[in-house]
Amino acid sequence: MSVREADRIIPVTTGEVSPQPQERRSVVRPKRWKKYEALIIGTSSVVGVLTVWQLVANARIWPPLFLPGPLDVAPAFVKLFEPGGDIWIDIATSGQEIVIGYGMAIVIGLVLGLLMGWYTRFQYALDPFVNFFYSTPRIVLVPLFIIWFGIDMPSKIAVIFLGALFPIIINTMAGVRNTEAALLRVAKSFGASDALIFQRVVLPGSVPFILTGFRLGVGHALTGVIVGELIAARHGVGQLIAIAGQTFQTPKMFAGVILIAGTGMLLTATLQRVENRFQSWRPQIRR
Amino acid sequence: MKLVSRGVCIEYWLARSQKIFTAVESVDLDVRDGEFLAIVGPSGCGKTTFLNAVDGLLPISAGSLALDGVEIRKPGPDRAMVFQQPGLLPWRTVLGNVIFGLEAQGRMGGPDMVDRARQQIEIVGLQGFEDAYPLELSGGMQQRVNLARALLTDPKMLLLDEPFAALDAQTREMMQLELLKIWNRTRKTALFITHDIKEAIYLADRVVVFTKRPGRVKVTVDITIPRPRDLRVKRDPQFLRYEDEIWESIQEELAGPMERLIAEIPA
Protein backbone atom coordinates (compact mmCIF):
# COMPACT_ATOMS: atom_id res chain seq x y z
CA MET A 1 0.00 0.00 0.00
CA SER A 2 2.54 2.55 1.12
CA VAL A 3 4.97 0.96 -1.29
CA ARG A 4 2.69 1.86 -4.13
CA GLU A 5 2.73 5.49 -3.09
CA ALA A 6 6.51 5.52 -2.83
CA ASP A 7 6.72 4.30 -6.41
CA ARG A 8 4.87 7.33 -7.65
CA ILE A 9 7.30 10.00 -6.52
CA ILE A 10 7.22 12.64 -9.22
CA PRO A 11 10.64 13.95 -10.20
CA VAL A 12 10.85 17.72 -9.83
CA THR A 13 12.96 19.39 -12.48
CA THR A 14 14.07 22.98 -12.41
CA GLY A 15 15.93 24.82 -15.12
CA GLU A 16 19.02 25.18 -12.99
CA VAL A 17 19.67 21.47 -12.63
CA SER A 18 21.92 20.14 -15.37
CA PRO A 19 20.29 17.27 -17.25
CA GLN A 20 23.17 14.90 -16.47
CA PRO A 21 22.11 11.42 -15.48
CA GLN A 22 22.17 11.13 -11.73
CA GLU A 23 24.75 8.85 -10.24
CA ARG A 24 23.11 6.09 -8.29
CA ARG A 25 24.45 5.26 -4.91
CA SER A 26 24.99 1.55 -4.59
CA VAL A 27 22.82 -0.31 -2.12
CA VAL A 28 24.73 -0.63 1.13
CA ARG A 29 25.67 -4.24 1.62
CA PRO A 30 26.62 -5.13 5.18
CA LYS A 31 30.33 -5.80 5.65
CA ARG A 32 31.32 -9.38 6.23
CA TRP A 33 32.47 -8.81 9.80
CA LYS A 34 29.04 -7.39 10.66
CA LYS A 35 27.91 -10.95 11.28
CA TYR A 36 30.49 -11.39 14.03
CA GLU A 37 30.11 -7.88 15.40
CA ALA A 38 28.23 -8.93 18.53
CA LEU A 39 30.70 -11.70 19.25
CA ILE A 40 33.77 -9.52 18.70
CA ILE A 41 32.52 -6.59 20.79
CA GLY A 42 31.18 -8.87 23.52
CA THR A 43 34.42 -10.81 23.81
CA SER A 44 36.55 -7.66 23.78
CA SER A 45 34.43 -6.16 26.51
CA VAL A 46 34.75 -9.27 28.70
CA VAL A 47 38.52 -9.41 28.12
CA GLY A 48 38.73 -5.70 28.94
CA VAL A 49 36.89 -6.09 32.22
CA LEU A 50 38.97 -9.11 33.19
CA THR A 51 42.17 -7.15 32.44
CA VAL A 52 41.07 -4.21 34.57
CA TRP A 53 40.11 -6.63 37.34
CA GLN A 54 43.54 -8.29 37.20
CA LEU A 55 45.33 -4.92 37.13
CA VAL A 56 43.40 -3.71 40.17
CA ALA A 57 44.12 -7.00 41.96
CA ASN A 58 47.82 -6.74 41.02
CA ALA A 59 48.02 -3.25 42.47
CA ARG A 60 47.45 -5.02 45.80
CA ILE A 61 45.46 -2.22 47.34
CA TRP A 62 43.73 -5.04 49.15
CA PRO A 63 45.22 -8.43 50.11
CA PRO A 64 44.48 -11.38 47.77
CA LEU A 65 42.17 -12.74 50.45
CA PHE A 66 39.97 -9.71 49.90
CA LEU A 67 40.21 -9.39 46.14
CA PRO A 68 41.77 -12.20 44.13
CA GLY A 69 42.39 -11.55 40.44
CA PRO A 70 41.13 -13.67 37.56
CA LEU A 71 44.51 -15.43 37.51
CA ASP A 72 43.86 -16.57 41.08
CA VAL A 73 40.28 -17.61 40.41
CA ALA A 74 41.06 -19.67 37.29
CA PRO A 75 43.37 -22.14 39.06
CA ALA A 76 40.91 -22.37 41.94
CA PHE A 77 38.22 -23.25 39.41
CA VAL A 78 40.39 -25.96 37.86
CA LYS A 79 41.34 -27.20 41.31
CA LEU A 80 37.67 -27.65 42.14
CA PHE A 81 37.46 -30.43 39.62
CA GLU A 82 40.60 -32.25 40.70
CA PRO A 83 40.00 -35.83 41.83
CA GLY A 84 39.44 -36.21 45.54
CA GLY A 85 37.23 -33.13 45.80
CA ASP A 86 33.55 -33.15 46.64
CA ILE A 87 32.63 -31.02 43.66
CA TRP A 88 30.77 -33.75 41.80
CA ILE A 89 28.71 -34.56 44.87
CA ASP A 90 27.93 -30.86 45.25
CA ILE A 91 26.96 -30.47 41.61
CA ALA A 92 24.90 -33.65 41.66
CA THR A 93 23.09 -32.54 44.81
CA SER A 94 22.30 -29.06 43.57
CA GLY A 95 21.51 -30.43 40.12
CA GLN A 96 19.00 -32.95 41.43
CA GLU A 97 17.38 -30.35 43.64
CA ILE A 98 16.94 -28.05 40.66
CA VAL A 99 15.72 -30.73 38.28
CA ILE A 100 13.09 -32.05 40.71
CA GLY A 101 12.01 -28.67 42.12
CA TYR A 102 11.95 -26.84 38.81
CA GLY A 103 10.42 -29.79 37.00
CA MET A 104 7.54 -29.92 39.49
CA ALA A 105 7.13 -26.15 39.22
CA ILE A 106 6.86 -26.38 35.41
CA VAL A 107 4.23 -29.11 35.46
CA ILE A 108 2.09 -27.79 38.30
CA GLY A 109 2.60 -24.13 37.36
CA LEU A 110 1.54 -24.78 33.80
CA VAL A 111 -1.58 -26.72 34.81
CA LEU A 112 -2.65 -24.21 37.46
CA GLY A 113 -1.85 -21.25 35.21
CA LEU A 114 -3.90 -22.65 32.35
CA LEU A 115 -6.83 -23.50 34.63
CA MET A 116 -6.74 -20.10 36.30
CA GLY A 117 -6.59 -18.35 32.94
CA TRP A 118 -9.41 -20.39 31.43
CA TYR A 119 -11.80 -20.66 34.41
CA THR A 120 -12.37 -17.30 36.03
CA ARG A 121 -13.87 -18.87 39.15
CA PHE A 122 -10.81 -21.04 39.60
CA GLN A 123 -8.74 -17.89 39.43
CA TYR A 124 -10.93 -16.20 42.05
CA ALA A 125 -10.35 -19.16 44.33
CA LEU A 126 -6.57 -19.28 43.95
CA ASP A 127 -5.76 -15.60 43.49
CA PRO A 128 -5.32 -14.83 47.22
CA PHE A 129 -2.72 -17.57 47.58
CA VAL A 130 -0.88 -16.67 44.41
CA ASN A 131 -0.75 -13.03 45.43
CA PHE A 132 0.37 -13.93 48.95
CA PHE A 133 3.26 -16.07 47.79
CA TYR A 134 4.22 -14.02 44.76
CA SER A 135 4.62 -10.83 46.75
CA THR A 136 6.59 -12.59 49.53
CA PRO A 137 10.26 -13.44 49.02
CA ARG A 138 9.97 -17.22 49.17
CA ILE A 139 13.43 -17.33 50.73
CA VAL A 140 11.88 -16.43 54.10
CA LEU A 141 10.38 -19.89 54.10
CA VAL A 142 13.77 -21.63 54.08
CA PRO A 143 14.11 -21.82 57.90
CA LEU A 144 10.60 -23.23 58.10
CA PHE A 145 11.31 -25.80 55.37
CA ILE A 146 14.48 -26.85 57.17
CA ILE A 147 12.40 -27.56 60.27
CA TRP A 148 9.83 -29.44 58.21
CA PHE A 149 12.02 -31.28 55.74
CA GLY A 150 15.47 -31.31 57.34
CA ILE A 151 18.71 -29.95 55.93
CA ASP A 152 18.94 -32.31 52.98
CA MET A 153 17.46 -32.14 49.51
CA PRO A 154 13.69 -31.97 50.26
CA SER A 155 13.91 -28.55 51.91
CA LYS A 156 15.80 -27.15 48.91
CA ILE A 157 13.40 -28.77 46.47
CA ALA A 158 10.52 -27.11 48.29
CA VAL A 159 12.18 -23.69 48.07
CA ILE A 160 13.04 -24.10 44.38
CA PHE A 161 9.54 -25.32 43.64
CA LEU A 162 7.86 -22.39 45.34
CA GLY A 163 10.35 -19.96 43.84
CA ALA A 164 9.78 -21.04 40.26
CA LEU A 165 6.08 -21.89 40.59
CA PHE A 166 4.56 -18.43 40.82
CA PRO A 167 6.27 -16.69 37.92
CA ILE A 168 5.19 -19.66 35.80
CA ILE A 169 1.58 -19.55 37.06
CA ILE A 170 1.27 -15.81 36.61
CA ASN A 171 2.77 -15.72 33.11
CA THR A 172 0.78 -18.72 31.90
CA MET A 173 -2.41 -17.18 33.20
CA ALA A 174 -1.55 -13.88 31.51
CA GLY A 175 -0.97 -15.77 28.27
CA VAL A 176 -4.42 -17.35 28.36
CA ARG A 177 -6.04 -14.05 29.35
CA ASN A 178 -4.27 -12.17 26.58
CA THR A 179 -5.80 -14.22 23.80
CA GLU A 180 -6.83 -11.77 21.14
CA ALA A 181 -10.57 -11.10 21.23
CA ALA A 182 -10.68 -11.04 17.42
CA LEU A 183 -9.37 -14.61 17.26
CA LEU A 184 -11.92 -15.82 19.78
CA ARG A 185 -14.67 -14.16 17.78
CA VAL A 186 -13.56 -15.87 14.58
CA ALA A 187 -13.41 -19.25 16.30
CA LYS A 188 -16.84 -18.78 17.87
CA SER A 189 -18.31 -17.55 14.60
CA PHE A 190 -17.23 -20.79 12.96
CA GLY A 191 -18.89 -22.65 15.82
CA ALA A 192 -15.71 -23.95 17.44
CA SER A 193 -16.14 -25.97 20.63
CA ASP A 194 -14.51 -24.73 23.84
CA ALA A 195 -12.02 -27.58 23.68
CA LEU A 196 -11.01 -26.64 20.15
CA ILE A 197 -10.71 -22.95 21.03
CA PHE A 198 -8.47 -23.85 23.96
CA GLN A 199 -6.34 -26.27 22.00
CA ARG A 200 -5.94 -24.41 18.71
CA VAL A 201 -6.26 -20.75 19.66
CA VAL A 202 -5.59 -20.12 23.35
CA LEU A 203 -2.78 -22.58 23.98
CA PRO A 204 -0.59 -21.76 20.96
CA GLY A 205 -1.13 -18.05 21.62
CA SER A 206 0.04 -18.49 25.21
CA VAL A 207 3.31 -20.21 24.35
CA PRO A 208 5.45 -17.04 24.36
CA PHE A 209 4.06 -16.10 27.78
CA ILE A 210 4.54 -19.60 29.15
CA LEU A 211 8.15 -19.72 28.00
CA THR A 212 8.79 -16.31 29.55
CA GLY A 213 7.43 -17.74 32.80
CA PHE A 214 9.78 -20.71 32.50
CA ARG A 215 12.71 -18.39 31.91
CA LEU A 216 11.88 -16.21 34.91
CA GLY A 217 11.43 -19.39 36.93
CA VAL A 218 15.03 -20.42 36.25
CA GLY A 219 16.34 -17.33 38.03
CA HIS A 220 14.11 -17.97 41.02
CA ALA A 221 15.07 -21.65 41.09
CA LEU A 222 18.79 -20.85 41.17
CA THR A 223 18.30 -18.25 43.89
CA GLY A 224 16.31 -20.80 45.86
CA VAL A 225 18.88 -23.58 45.66
CA ILE A 226 21.86 -21.39 46.55
CA VAL A 227 20.24 -19.48 49.41
CA GLY A 228 18.78 -22.71 50.75
CA GLU A 229 22.18 -24.35 50.71
CA LEU A 230 23.92 -21.31 52.15
CA ILE A 231 21.65 -21.48 55.18
CA ALA A 232 21.96 -25.18 55.91
CA ALA A 233 22.98 -28.20 53.84
CA ARG A 234 25.35 -31.11 53.78
CA HIS A 235 26.23 -30.87 50.09
CA GLY A 236 25.62 -28.56 47.18
CA VAL A 237 27.27 -25.71 45.31
CA GLY A 238 25.77 -23.17 47.72
CA GLN A 239 27.24 -25.11 50.62
CA LEU A 240 30.62 -25.13 48.80
CA ILE A 241 30.52 -21.35 48.60
CA ALA A 242 29.45 -21.06 52.22
CA ILE A 243 32.34 -23.23 53.43
CA ALA A 244 34.85 -21.46 51.16
CA GLY A 245 33.65 -18.15 52.58
CA GLN A 246 33.85 -19.25 56.18
CA THR A 247 37.41 -20.58 55.63
CA PHE A 248 38.61 -17.49 53.74
CA GLN A 249 39.20 -19.35 50.46
CA THR A 250 38.10 -16.37 48.43
CA PRO A 251 39.26 -17.65 45.00
CA LYS A 252 37.27 -20.84 45.57
CA MET A 253 34.25 -18.74 46.43
CA PHE A 254 34.59 -16.86 43.16
CA ALA A 255 34.92 -20.19 41.33
CA GLY A 256 31.65 -21.35 42.88
CA VAL A 257 29.92 -18.14 41.90
CA ILE A 258 31.13 -18.56 38.31
CA LEU A 259 29.85 -22.13 38.26
CA ILE A 260 26.35 -20.98 39.27
CA ALA A 261 26.34 -17.97 36.97
CA GLY A 262 27.41 -20.22 34.09
CA THR A 263 24.57 -22.64 34.81
CA GLY A 264 22.06 -19.81 34.93
CA MET A 265 23.27 -18.36 31.65
CA LEU A 266 23.21 -21.76 29.96
CA LEU A 267 19.64 -22.54 31.09
CA THR A 268 18.38 -19.10 30.16
CA ALA A 269 20.06 -19.22 26.76
CA THR A 270 18.56 -22.65 26.07
CA LEU A 271 15.07 -21.41 26.92
CA GLN A 272 15.65 -18.31 24.81
CA ARG A 273 16.42 -20.57 21.87
CA VAL A 274 13.26 -22.56 22.45
CA GLU A 275 11.34 -19.29 22.60
CA ASN A 276 12.82 -18.13 19.31
CA ARG A 277 11.95 -21.43 17.70
CA PHE A 278 8.32 -21.03 18.65
CA GLN A 279 8.27 -17.54 17.18
CA SER A 280 9.53 -18.33 13.72
CA TRP A 281 6.29 -16.87 12.38
CA ARG A 282 7.20 -13.42 13.63
CA PRO A 283 8.81 -11.40 10.84
CA GLN A 284 12.40 -10.60 11.67
CA ILE A 285 13.08 -7.11 12.86
CA ARG A 286 15.44 -5.47 10.43
CA ARG A 287 17.84 -2.94 11.82
CA MET B 1 -36.49 -16.19 0.69
CA LYS B 2 -33.20 -17.10 2.25
CA LEU B 3 -33.00 -14.96 5.35
CA VAL B 4 -36.17 -13.66 6.94
CA SER B 5 -35.95 -11.07 9.68
CA ARG B 6 -39.19 -9.98 11.34
CA GLY B 7 -39.29 -7.38 14.08
CA VAL B 8 -35.78 -8.23 15.20
CA CYS B 9 -34.73 -6.31 18.26
CA ILE B 10 -31.32 -6.56 19.88
CA GLU B 11 -30.69 -5.19 23.34
CA TYR B 12 -27.93 -5.65 25.82
CA TRP B 13 -27.04 -4.64 29.29
CA LEU B 14 -24.46 -1.90 29.68
CA ALA B 15 -22.62 -2.61 32.91
CA ARG B 16 -21.00 0.80 33.20
CA SER B 17 -24.12 2.94 32.91
CA GLN B 18 -26.42 0.25 34.31
CA LYS B 19 -28.78 0.62 31.38
CA ILE B 20 -30.35 -1.46 28.70
CA PHE B 21 -28.89 -0.50 25.34
CA THR B 22 -31.08 -0.96 22.29
CA ALA B 23 -28.82 -1.45 19.28
CA VAL B 24 -31.42 -2.59 16.76
CA GLU B 25 -35.17 -2.16 16.94
CA SER B 26 -37.68 -4.03 14.89
CA VAL B 27 -35.75 -4.88 11.75
CA ASP B 28 -37.91 -6.27 8.94
CA LEU B 29 -35.69 -7.50 6.17
CA ASP B 30 -35.55 -10.30 3.62
CA VAL B 31 -32.53 -11.55 1.78
CA ARG B 32 -33.51 -13.47 -1.33
CA ASP B 33 -31.85 -16.62 -2.53
CA GLY B 34 -28.70 -15.80 -4.48
CA GLU B 35 -28.98 -12.13 -3.74
CA PHE B 36 -26.20 -9.74 -2.78
CA LEU B 37 -27.66 -7.41 -0.19
CA ALA B 38 -25.76 -4.52 1.36
CA ILE B 39 -26.69 -2.65 4.52
CA VAL B 40 -25.47 0.91 4.94
CA GLY B 41 -26.16 3.36 7.70
CA PRO B 42 -24.62 6.01 9.89
CA SER B 43 -21.87 4.73 12.13
CA GLY B 44 -23.16 3.20 15.33
CA CYS B 45 -26.54 2.38 13.80
CA GLY B 46 -26.36 -1.28 14.77
CA LYS B 47 -25.72 -2.77 11.34
CA THR B 48 -22.77 -4.83 12.55
CA THR B 49 -24.79 -5.86 15.60
CA PHE B 50 -27.53 -7.09 13.29
CA LEU B 51 -25.00 -9.07 11.24
CA ASN B 52 -23.63 -10.64 14.43
CA ALA B 53 -27.15 -11.75 15.28
CA VAL B 54 -27.52 -13.31 11.82
CA ASP B 55 -24.24 -15.11 12.43
CA GLY B 56 -25.62 -16.35 15.75
CA LEU B 57 -23.01 -14.61 17.89
CA LEU B 58 -25.59 -12.39 19.58
CA PRO B 59 -29.04 -13.36 20.82
CA ILE B 60 -32.03 -11.34 19.65
CA SER B 61 -34.35 -10.01 22.31
CA ALA B 62 -37.50 -9.90 20.20
CA GLY B 63 -38.77 -10.90 16.76
CA SER B 64 -37.65 -13.78 14.62
CA LEU B 65 -34.66 -14.41 12.46
CA ALA B 66 -34.61 -17.47 10.25
CA LEU B 67 -32.37 -18.86 7.54
CA ASP B 68 -34.15 -21.24 5.15
CA GLY B 69 -36.98 -21.43 7.65
CA VAL B 70 -34.74 -22.47 10.53
CA GLU B 71 -34.55 -20.10 13.48
CA ILE B 72 -31.01 -18.81 14.08
CA ARG B 73 -29.82 -19.43 17.61
CA LYS B 74 -26.09 -20.01 17.36
CA PRO B 75 -23.33 -20.05 14.74
CA GLY B 76 -23.64 -22.83 12.21
CA PRO B 77 -21.95 -24.19 9.10
CA ASP B 78 -24.72 -22.69 6.95
CA ARG B 79 -23.25 -19.23 7.55
CA ALA B 80 -19.69 -17.93 7.35
CA MET B 81 -18.43 -14.51 8.27
CA VAL B 82 -15.74 -12.36 6.71
CA PHE B 83 -14.58 -10.04 9.46
CA GLN B 84 -13.49 -6.43 9.42
CA GLN B 85 -10.28 -7.41 11.21
CA PRO B 86 -8.71 -10.42 9.50
CA GLY B 87 -8.45 -12.39 12.77
CA LEU B 88 -5.81 -14.78 11.46
CA LEU B 89 -3.83 -17.09 13.73
CA PRO B 90 -0.36 -15.52 13.49
CA TRP B 91 1.44 -18.83 14.08
CA ARG B 92 -0.32 -20.53 11.18
CA THR B 93 0.50 -20.19 7.53
CA VAL B 94 -2.02 -18.95 4.98
CA LEU B 95 -2.99 -22.56 4.25
CA GLY B 96 -3.44 -23.33 7.94
CA ASN B 97 -5.60 -20.25 8.40
CA VAL B 98 -7.78 -20.98 5.39
CA ILE B 99 -8.48 -24.44 6.76
CA PHE B 100 -9.23 -23.09 10.25
CA GLY B 101 -12.88 -22.35 9.43
CA LEU B 102 -13.62 -25.95 8.50
CA GLU B 103 -11.55 -27.15 11.42
CA ALA B 104 -13.53 -25.02 13.88
CA GLN B 105 -16.75 -26.41 12.47
CA GLY B 106 -15.43 -29.89 13.14
CA ARG B 107 -15.47 -30.71 9.43
CA MET B 108 -11.80 -31.45 9.01
CA GLY B 109 -11.29 -34.28 6.74
CA GLY B 110 -9.99 -35.99 3.69
CA PRO B 111 -6.87 -35.42 1.71
CA ASP B 112 -8.94 -33.43 -0.76
CA MET B 113 -9.49 -30.77 1.87
CA VAL B 114 -5.98 -29.44 1.39
CA ASP B 115 -6.50 -29.50 -2.38
CA ARG B 116 -9.73 -27.56 -2.04
CA ALA B 117 -8.01 -25.10 0.31
CA ARG B 118 -5.24 -24.56 -2.23
CA GLN B 119 -7.85 -24.05 -4.93
CA GLN B 120 -9.61 -21.49 -2.76
CA ILE B 121 -6.34 -19.69 -2.11
CA GLU B 122 -5.87 -19.48 -5.84
CA ILE B 123 -9.37 -18.12 -6.33
CA VAL B 124 -8.68 -15.25 -3.95
CA GLY B 125 -5.41 -14.60 -5.76
CA LEU B 126 -2.91 -15.74 -3.16
CA GLN B 127 -1.24 -18.57 -5.08
CA GLY B 128 2.42 -18.77 -4.06
CA PHE B 129 1.67 -17.48 -0.57
CA GLU B 130 0.29 -20.73 0.89
CA ASP B 131 3.21 -21.05 3.30
CA ALA B 132 3.52 -17.37 4.23
CA TYR B 133 2.63 -16.23 7.73
CA PRO B 134 -0.05 -13.54 8.21
CA LEU B 135 2.41 -10.99 9.56
CA GLU B 136 4.32 -11.23 6.30
CA LEU B 137 1.24 -10.21 4.32
CA SER B 138 -0.20 -6.78 3.52
CA GLY B 139 -3.62 -5.80 4.86
CA GLY B 140 -5.29 -6.58 1.54
CA MET B 141 -3.72 -10.02 1.36
CA GLN B 142 -4.79 -10.77 4.93
CA GLN B 143 -8.36 -9.94 3.96
CA ARG B 144 -8.09 -12.36 1.05
CA VAL B 145 -7.19 -15.09 3.55
CA ASN B 146 -10.15 -14.00 5.67
CA LEU B 147 -12.40 -14.35 2.61
CA ALA B 148 -10.93 -17.69 1.54
CA ARG B 149 -11.46 -19.10 5.03
CA ALA B 150 -15.17 -18.26 4.85
CA LEU B 151 -15.57 -19.48 1.24
CA LEU B 152 -13.90 -22.83 1.93
CA THR B 153 -16.67 -23.74 4.40
CA ASP B 154 -19.10 -23.40 1.46
CA PRO B 155 -21.87 -21.71 3.49
CA LYS B 156 -25.42 -21.16 2.30
CA MET B 157 -24.98 -17.53 3.15
CA LEU B 158 -21.90 -15.33 3.25
CA LEU B 159 -21.78 -12.57 5.85
CA LEU B 160 -19.34 -9.73 5.32
CA ASP B 161 -18.70 -7.17 8.05
CA GLU B 162 -17.03 -4.12 6.46
CA PRO B 163 -14.24 -6.36 5.16
CA PHE B 164 -12.51 -3.61 3.20
CA ALA B 165 -12.95 -0.73 5.65
CA ALA B 166 -9.39 -0.89 6.97
CA LEU B 167 -7.76 -0.97 3.53
CA ASP B 168 -6.39 1.96 1.57
CA ALA B 169 -8.56 3.37 -1.22
CA GLN B 170 -6.85 1.64 -4.16
CA THR B 171 -6.61 -1.74 -2.50
CA ARG B 172 -10.26 -1.43 -1.48
CA GLU B 173 -11.38 -0.88 -5.08
CA MET B 174 -9.35 -3.83 -6.31
CA MET B 175 -10.81 -6.02 -3.58
CA GLN B 176 -14.35 -4.94 -4.49
CA LEU B 177 -13.73 -5.86 -8.10
CA GLU B 178 -12.31 -9.25 -7.18
CA LEU B 179 -15.05 -9.96 -4.67
CA LEU B 180 -17.60 -9.42 -7.43
CA LYS B 181 -15.69 -11.71 -9.78
CA ILE B 182 -15.64 -14.44 -7.16
CA TRP B 183 -19.27 -13.85 -6.29
CA ASN B 184 -20.29 -14.01 -9.95
CA ARG B 185 -18.96 -17.55 -10.12
CA THR B 186 -20.97 -18.86 -7.18
CA ARG B 187 -23.81 -16.36 -6.76
CA LYS B 188 -23.86 -17.23 -3.10
CA THR B 189 -26.39 -15.33 -1.01
CA ALA B 190 -24.44 -12.50 0.60
CA LEU B 191 -25.15 -9.96 3.32
CA PHE B 192 -22.62 -7.15 3.23
CA ILE B 193 -22.25 -4.44 5.88
CA THR B 194 -20.51 -1.21 4.98
CA HIS B 195 -20.55 2.51 5.65
CA ASP B 196 -19.23 3.18 2.15
CA ILE B 197 -22.20 4.04 -0.08
CA LYS B 198 -20.29 3.57 -3.35
CA GLU B 199 -19.11 0.16 -2.20
CA ALA B 200 -22.67 -0.87 -1.37
CA ILE B 201 -24.08 0.24 -4.73
CA TYR B 202 -21.21 -1.26 -6.68
CA LEU B 203 -21.53 -4.68 -5.07
CA ALA B 204 -25.17 -5.17 -4.24
CA ASP B 205 -28.46 -6.08 -5.89
CA ARG B 206 -30.25 -4.16 -3.17
CA VAL B 207 -29.02 -1.60 -0.68
CA VAL B 208 -30.79 -1.30 2.65
CA VAL B 209 -30.35 1.95 4.58
CA PHE B 210 -30.54 1.73 8.36
CA THR B 211 -31.72 4.59 10.54
CA LYS B 212 -29.51 5.91 13.30
CA ARG B 213 -29.51 3.96 16.55
CA PRO B 214 -31.61 2.09 17.42
CA GLY B 215 -31.30 0.78 13.88
CA ARG B 216 -34.31 0.03 11.72
CA VAL B 217 -34.74 -0.33 7.99
CA LYS B 218 -35.26 3.15 6.62
CA VAL B 219 -35.36 2.51 2.90
CA THR B 220 -34.45 -0.20 0.42
CA VAL B 221 -32.97 0.73 -2.96
CA ASP B 222 -32.96 -1.73 -5.87
CA ILE B 223 -29.74 -1.47 -7.84
CA THR B 224 -30.46 -2.39 -11.44
CA ILE B 225 -27.00 -1.82 -12.86
CA PRO B 226 -26.34 -4.88 -15.02
CA ARG B 227 -23.67 -7.40 -14.10
CA PRO B 228 -20.83 -8.07 -14.56
CA ARG B 229 -19.86 -4.62 -13.32
CA ASP B 230 -16.41 -3.18 -13.73
CA LEU B 231 -15.09 -0.31 -11.67
CA ARG B 232 -16.10 2.22 -14.35
CA VAL B 233 -19.77 1.89 -13.45
CA LYS B 234 -18.93 3.97 -10.41
CA ARG B 235 -18.88 7.03 -12.68
CA ASP B 236 -22.08 6.10 -14.46
CA PRO B 237 -24.88 8.71 -14.17
CA GLN B 238 -27.26 6.03 -12.93
CA PHE B 239 -24.73 5.02 -10.27
CA LEU B 240 -24.41 8.61 -9.15
CA ARG B 241 -28.18 8.95 -8.87
CA TYR B 242 -28.25 5.94 -6.56
CA GLU B 243 -25.46 7.48 -4.57
CA ASP B 244 -27.34 10.77 -4.22
CA GLU B 245 -30.50 9.01 -3.18
CA ILE B 246 -28.82 6.91 -0.52
CA TRP B 247 -26.64 9.74 0.69
CA GLU B 248 -29.73 11.99 1.14
CA SER B 249 -31.37 9.27 3.12
CA ILE B 250 -28.37 8.80 5.43
CA GLN B 251 -27.89 12.53 5.77
CA GLU B 252 -31.38 12.90 7.21
CA GLU B 253 -30.27 10.51 9.91
CA LEU B 254 -27.09 12.43 10.59
CA ALA B 255 -28.68 15.88 10.52
CA GLY B 256 -30.66 15.40 13.71
CA PRO B 257 -27.96 14.89 16.28
CA MET B 258 -25.56 17.30 14.61
CA GLU B 259 -28.04 20.16 14.70
CA ARG B 260 -28.80 19.35 18.28
CA LEU B 261 -25.10 19.40 19.07
CA ILE B 262 -24.68 22.79 17.45
CA ALA B 263 -27.73 24.12 19.27
CA GLU B 264 -26.19 23.05 22.55
CA ILE B 265 -23.06 25.10 21.99
CA PRO B 266 -23.45 28.21 24.16
CA ALA B 267 -23.38 31.45 22.21
pLDDT in tens, A168-219: 999 999 999 999 999 999 999 999 999 999 999 999 999 989 999 999 999 9
A205 touches chain B (CB under 8 A): yes
**Chain B residues whose beta carbon lies within 8 Å of the beta carbon of residue A180:** 87
Taking the C-alpha atoms of residue A81 and residue B133, their distance in angstroms, rounded to an integer, is 49
Interface contact B170-A4, CB threshold 8 A: yes
A193 touches chain B (CB under 8 A): yes
Q: For the segment B176-233, what is each residue's pLDDT rounded down to a tens digit?
A: 999 999 999 989 999 999 999 999 999 999 999 999 888 899 999 999 999 889 999 9
A230 touches chain B (CB under 8 A): no
Taking the C-alpha atoms of residue A163 and residue A226, their distance in angstroms, rounded to an integer, is 12
**pLDDT (average), residues A31-46:** 86
With contact defined as beta carbons under 8 Å apart, do A176 and A118 qualify? yes
CA A179 to chain B, closest CA, distance in angstroms equals: 11
A28 vs A160, residue with greater confidence: A160
Interface contact A1-B138, CB threshold 8 A: yes
Residue of chain A whose Cα is closest to the Cα of B146: A186
With contact defined as beta carbons under 8 Å apart, do B98 and B148 qualify? yes
B67 vs B109, residue with greater confidence: B67
Q: Burial, A54: exposed, middle or buried (Cβ in 10 Å; 0-12, 13-18, 19+)?
A: middle
Mutate: best of B57, B67, B85, B146, partner A, most A CBs <10 A = B85
Interface contact A189-B55, CB threshold 8 A: yes
Q: Which residue in the set B90, B103, B168 is minimally distant from A281, CB to CB?
A: B90
**Chain A residues whose beta carbon lies within 8 Å of the beta carbon of residue B92:** 281
Q: Does the pLDDT at position A12 exceed 60?
A: no
Interface contact A191-B104, CB threshold 8 A: yes
Q: What is the pLDDT at residue A73?
A: 87
Question: What CATH architecture is B3-78+158-264?
Answer: 3-Layer(aba) Sandwich (3.40)
Q: Which residue in the set B57, B85, B136 is minimally distant from A188, CB to CB?
A: B57
Q: Does the pLDDT at position A16 exceed 70?
A: no
A8 touches chain B (CB under 8 A): no
Mutate: best of A189, A200, A285, partner B, most B CBs <10 A = A189
Residue of chain A whose Cα is closest to the Cα of B131: A281
> Which helix or strand (DSSP H or E) is residue B77 part of?
none
How many beta-carbon contacts under 8 Å exist across A and B? Answer: 73
Q: What percentage of chain B carries pLDDT values higher than 70?
A: 95
Mutate: best of A1, A184, A190, partner B, most B CBs <10 A = A190
Phi-psi category of residue B162: left, alpha or beta, with phi > 0 → left and psi -120 to 50 → alpha: left
Interface contact A196-B74, CB threshold 8 A: no
A192 touches chain B (CB under 8 A): yes
Q: Does the pLDDT at position B258 exceed 70?
A: no
Q: Does the pLDDT at position B141 exceed 90?
A: yes
CA B140 to chain A, closest CA, distance in angstroms equals: 9
Interface contact B57-A189, CB threshold 8 A: yes
Q: What is the ipTM of this complex?
A: 0.89
CATH number of the structural domain A75-278: 1.10.3720.10
Cβ-based neighbour number of residue B160 at 10 Å: 24
> Strand B36-40 to strand B189-193: parallel, antiparallel, or no bridges (unpaired)?
parallel
Q: What is the pLDDT at residue A21?
A: 63
- The answer for residues whose C-beta is within 8 angstroms of residue B143's C-beta and 6 or more apart is B82, B86, B163, B164, B167, B175
Residue of chain B whose Cα is closest to the Cα of A195: B104
CA A181 to chain B, closest CA, distance in angstroms equals: 9
One-letter amino acid for residue B265 of the chain: I
Domain boundaries in chain B? 3-78+158-264, 83-154
Report chain A's mean pLDDT, rounded to a whole number: 86
pLDDT band per the 50, 70, 90 thresholds, residue A4: very low
Q: Tell me the pTM.
A: 0.81
**Chain B residues whose beta carbon lies within 8 Å of the beta carbon of residue A187:** 100, 104
Q: What is the pLDDT at residue B255?
A: 67
A75 touches chain B (CB under 8 A): no
Q: What percentage of chain A carries pLDDT values higher than 70?
A: 90
Is the backbone peptide bond immediately before B77 cis, with ω within 30 degrees of 0? no
As a whole number of Å, the end-to-end CA separation of chain A is 22
CA A97 to chain B, closest CA, distance in angstroms equals: 36
Q: What is the pLDDT at residue A3?
A: 45
A282 touches chain B (CB under 8 A): yes
- The answer for residues whose C-beta is within 8 angstroms of residue B160's C-beta and 6 or more apart is B81, B82, B190, B191, B192, B193
> Strand B189-193 to strand B79-82: parallel, antiparallel, or no bridges (unpaired)?
unpaired
Report chain B's mean pLDDT, rounded to a whole number: 91
CA A33 to chain B, closest CA, distance in angstroms equals: 28
